[in-house]
Amino acid sequence: MADAVVEFLLENLKQLLLYNSDLIFGVKGQVESLYKELSLMKAFLKDSKEKRSEYELVRELVRQIRDVAYEAEDTIDTFVVEAAMQKERSALSRIVHPFDYPKKLRSVAKDIESIKAKVKEIYEKKMFGIEALYSSESVKKSSSSQRRKPVVEEDNVIGFDEEAKELVSRLTNIAESLEVVSVVGMGGLGKTTLAKKVYSDPAIEFHFFVRAWVYVSQEYSRKEVLLAILGCLMQQPSDQTSKMNEEMIIEEICKQLNGRRYLIVLDDVWTTDAWNDLKTAFPNQNCGSRILLTTRNTDVAMLANPDTPPHHLRFLNDDESFELLSTKVFRKKSCPFELVELGRTIAKKCDGLPLAIVVIAGLLLKKDKTRDMWKKVAESVGSYVARDPKQCLDVLALSYKQLPDHLKVCFIYFGAFPEDFPIPVWKLVMLWVAEGFIQENGQECLEDLAEEYLGDLVERNLILIAKRRANGRIKTCRVHDMLRDLCLREAAEEKFLQVIKRNIPDQTSLISYNYSHRRLCVHSHVMNFIHSKPSGPHVRSFLCFPSEETELSREHTSFIHEAFKLVRVLDIRSINISRFPVEITQLVHLRYISIFGNFKVLPPSISKLWSLQSLVVETTTRDLDIQVDIWKMSRFRHLHTNGSSRLHGPQAKTRMDNEDPFVQGNIQTISTISPDSCTENILARTPNLKKLGIRGKLAILMEVKKNTSLFDNLAKLDNLDKLKLLNDTFPRPPSEGKLRGLPPLYKFPPHLNKLTLSDTLLDWKHMSTIAMLPNLEVLKLKVFAFRGPQWDPLDGGFRLLKYLHIGKTDLVHWKASGHHFPRLEHIVVEQCGDLVAIPQGLADVSALRTMELHHTPSAIGSARLILQQKQMQQKTQPQQFMRSNGFKLLIYPPE
């Protein structure tokens, strides 16, 4: 983590020197010198990475580097705040509240020199002590890097029967060529246990002439693994085998496997390099041989067999979890009736992870089996599991320790969110960017890079997908409770993050609580926390996710500015604020604001926040006047509001070209704004806009005056990917705002991928325009987007459409064949009570994978006929459906 701390500090210093050097006038030379000194530390951190787990002195030096980086950050950021406030004061105010600039400069310069001396001292320790340390035999080494075989539960395996049958079937199928079957899942899920169950199955023993099992692990030796395989194949390995080189061993393995149907189990393969190292030892002789591979990383499984999806091991359900717990605690006896309810609660809180259940069962086995004892455990399952870290958290930590630095910091950030909290990816991505976790890499978009990082964590089975978007990308995600405990453990050790979820004692009126961590997250008792007069001079992020509803009164809105002067990330969306807290405009380091309240105006003073990237505002009013001058904020990226927000263009009249100072190439999101805000003065200055939401009377947007309309300005948005058009005619009824039609095709953004319409009340004949959008993949027709009894799609349209959502409408007859939607994968039909049937021709769409019907009873019969046709196709064309797991029909409410 020290690597990330230094990396972030260097990036922040770089941004300060580039864009706001006027605020450090007088100490710029010292800051530049400090930047160079810390760059040397960055190089040392990189070189020492592999030695930290072995040498305590190296770990101590790394901690010292982290602390001195924090100190440097605090010193410079505090000076910047004071300088910025002085800059904003009027001349009279400066006289009343003088800022002794020379004195302050001397003080800061002295502090920076002191920090540089500490850096130099650490560097000298590194130069004169570390090299000798590495060669010393007397230094105490840690044992964390030693290879340790997993504990395998061979008896009382719960919940794996169907999984084992499926794997046995895949391993013994009729295919003659060598195949790899992979079992993928997070640590502690039971991959090894399942593989052992399959390996010992009588059908497997009968089917394969030769079997071998080898444990690979994180820290593996290619020669040792190859020798282990050879040892399983040879009845009496000779003394000479250990003297063979790797190529000789591979040759002998191939000789032993020649002409024989074999099964090799490679347990716990961590990297693609490991698979590439070993695969040459397994000859393909077209006799039905198989490799069974277990791994935590999906990319390893996909490399080993890109043609067939791996077996993703599921979590145990609640009944299986309780059965496993009861079996482990009471052996062959049943759980006493009075403990069943508490036992189910304990098992449920293990979130389906067998390892956690086994660990907690081992603890319960040693305790008194009383209701009081089990109640204590049920109230804090995670803390009881954490009491024996070697049994659970350390096993899970292996995945964390293997992560590169940029993913480590992203992963432990998940500890900031409450248990079982569905995390919106759009929010997570903006937070990561604002925190500085996503470093610029050429021209690549920071948000795209952040989504890649998230995908990498998912592939490593550290993060779970809660819900996917219509285009297949992740919409919400979550972290398993045990992995969240791991995040919090690592975060506490690094002073990275602190979670407040307890009720601070009432007698706090005269007590001010100090918080030393860089990030502070409040999960409950928010008002009690505020009344405690918190103080966080080191806090850079304040995030609030209380489970209870909280309303902040006017007199308390200044607490944030008073407590957290250096904060960069402020998420208080879960607190209802009675007035906009203008005090936050003095938090000059702010990069991210998420706020909720009864606001009608966002004041222009927010424009002073030069570092602001994301502004998320939810208001109880229908309209919001955004007086913020985002055109002067060079780092601004995202504007999210829920109402119809009026956005103002820049006041100065300048030409709109590359030299226009008001063109903001960083802005990617504007959602949602009023139709009359879609002027050329605004949209032409956002050339890289990717997401646009428009809410209000859309007739204003479509109205043609002097051969032009406001909608014409959308055609100039070459990078626009998502467009929402929400027709809101309040207080008039929607029928009075019905759109007469849509603009011609050439007036739409040229690269539009996703389109959402709501309350537009269009006639179905106008669908022909949308159908011809060349890049459209997702179409969401929300409440009465279209109206009329019949829809007859035209030929040649929807060439790329993958997702179609039809919301509430009066549609009765929908006539379509497979060629109308050649690439359609998902259909959602919601509250279409008049719809007679889903077109049977859609069964011919080979790409179709899911169909969901919500409160559309009259179409259920036709949907089931499509299901039957798809099932028949799956039997006759199995290869076509293998990667997609077939076709699914979902009906809500279930019958």
Chain segment 774-820, per-residue pLDDT in tens: 999 999 999 999 999 999 998 889 999 999 999 999 999 999 988 99
CB 583 within 8 A of CB 560: yes
In a domain, 505, yes or no: no
Query: Phi, psi at residue 731, to the nearest 5°?
Result: -90, 0
* pLDDT > 80? residue 240: no
Residue bearing the bigger pLDDT, 660 or 133: 660
Q: Which residues, 6+ apart, have CB-to-CB distance to 253 below 8 Å? A: 226, 229, 230, 233, 281, 282
Query: Phi, psi at residue 822, to the nearest 5°?
Result: -65, -25
What is the pLDDT of the chain when averaged over all its residues?
A: 86
Which pLDDT score is estimated for 843?
Answer: 93
Structural domain count, the chain: 5
Of 286, 312, 338, the residue that ends a domain is 312
145: confidence class by pLDDT, cuts 50, 70, 90: very low
Share of the chain above pLDDT 70, in %: 89
How many Cα atoms occupy the beta-carbon half-sphere of 682 within 13 Å?
A: 21
The domain that holds 387 is classified in CATH as 1.10.8
* pLDDT > 90? residue 566: yes
Q: Which residue has the tokens 């879960």?
A: 574
In a domain, 745, yes or no: no
Residue bearing the bigger pLDDT, 657 or 157: 157
- Whether residues 131 and 166 share a domain: the answer is no
213: confidence class by pLDDT, cuts 50, 70, 90: very high
d(CA 229, CA 709): 73
Which pLDDT score is estimated for 782?
Answer: 95
Which pLDDT score is estimated for 216?
Answer: 93
In tens, the pLDDT along 418-477 reads 988 899 999 999 999 999 999 877 778 999 999 999 999 999 999 999 999 988 899 999
* pLDDT > 90? residue 45: no
Which pLDDT score is estimated for 89?
Answer: 66
d(CA 344, CA 350): 10
- Whether residues 114 and 247 share a domain: the answer is no
719: confidence class by pLDDT, cuts 50, 70, 90: very high
* pLDDT > 80? residue 862: yes
- Whether residues 874 and 801 share a domain: the answer is yes
CB 743 within 8 A of CB 760: no
Residue 448: CB atoms within 10 A of its CB come to 12
139: confidence class by pLDDT, cuts 50, 70, 90: very low
Which pLDDT score is estimated for 146?
Answer: 43
* pLDDT > 90? residue 184: yes
Query: Phi, psi at residue 778, to the nearest 5°?
Result: -130, 125
349-358, 365-374, 502-511, 530-539, range with the lowest pLDDT: 502-511
Residue bearing the bigger pLDDT, 135 or 356: 356
Q: Which residues, 6+ apart, have CB-to-CB distance to 264 below 8 Å? A: 211, 212, 213, 214, 229, 282, 290, 291, 292
- Whether residues 354 and 409 share a domain: the answer is no
Which pLDDT score is estimated for 34?
Answer: 81
- Whether residues 166 and 304 share a domain: the answer is yes
Which pLDDT score is estimated for 263?
Answer: 96
Of 365, 391, 417, the residue that ends a domain is 391
* pLDDT > 70? residue 17: yes
- Whether residues 795 and 882 share a domain: the answer is yes
542: confidence class by pLDDT, cuts 50, 70, 90: very high
* pLDDT > 60? residue 138: no
- Whether residues 165 and 305 share a domain: the answer is yes
- Whether residues 347 and 222 share a domain: the answer is no
Residue bearing the bigger pLDDT, 731 or 753: 753
In a domain, 108, yes or no: yes
* pLDDT > 80? residue 491: yes
**The pTM is what?**
0.88
In tens, the pLDDT along 154-177 reads 555 688 889 999 999 999 998 899
The domain that holds 477 is classified in CATH as 1.10.10.10
Residue bearing the bigger pLDDT, 443 or 724: 724
Which pLDDT score is estimated for 141?
Answer: 43
CB 174 within 8 A of CB 291: no
In a domain, 682, yes or no: no
Which pLDDT score is estimated for 125?
Answer: 66
Residue 379 structural domain: 318-391
- Which of 48-62, 479-493, 513-527, 776-790 has the highest average model confidence (pLDDT)? 776-790
In tens, the pLDDT along 332-383 reads 788 999 999 999 999 999 999 999 999 899 889 888 888 999 999 998 888 8
606: confidence class by pLDDT, cuts 50, 70, 90: very high
67-71, 259-263, 504-508, 636-640, range with the lowest pLDDT: 504-508
Reduced to 3 states, what is the DSSP secondary structure of residue 88? helix
In a domain, 512, yes or no: no
Residue 7: enclosing H or E segment and its boundaries? helix 2-19
In tens, the pLDDT along 662-697 reads 889 999 999 999 999 999 999 999 999 999 999 999
What residue spans of 367-480 are helical by DSSP H? 371-379, 381-386, 393-401, 405-412, 425-435, 446-459
- Whether residues 94 and 21 share a domain: the answer is yes
- Whether residues 247 and 232 share a domain: the answer is yes
Which pLDDT score is estimated for 655?
Answer: 54
Of 391, 418, 433, the residue that ends a domain is 391
Residue 382: CB atoms within 10 A of its CB come to 19
**Average pLDDT rounded to a whole number, residues 522-546:** 88
- Whether residues 323 and 297 share a domain: the answer is no
- Whether residues 66 and 18 share a domain: the answer is yes
In a domain, 437, yes or no: yes
Residue bearing the bigger pLDDT, 61 or 771: 771
**Average pLDDT rounded to a whole number, residues 220-242:** 83
In tens, the pLDDT along 269-314 reads 999 999 999 999 999 989 999 999 999 999 999 999 999 899 999 9
Q: Which residues, 6+ apart, have CB-to-CB distance to 814 below 8 Å? A: 790, 791, 835, 837, 838, 839
* pLDDT > 70? residue 723: yes
In a domain, 428, yes or no: yes
In a domain, 669, yes or no: no
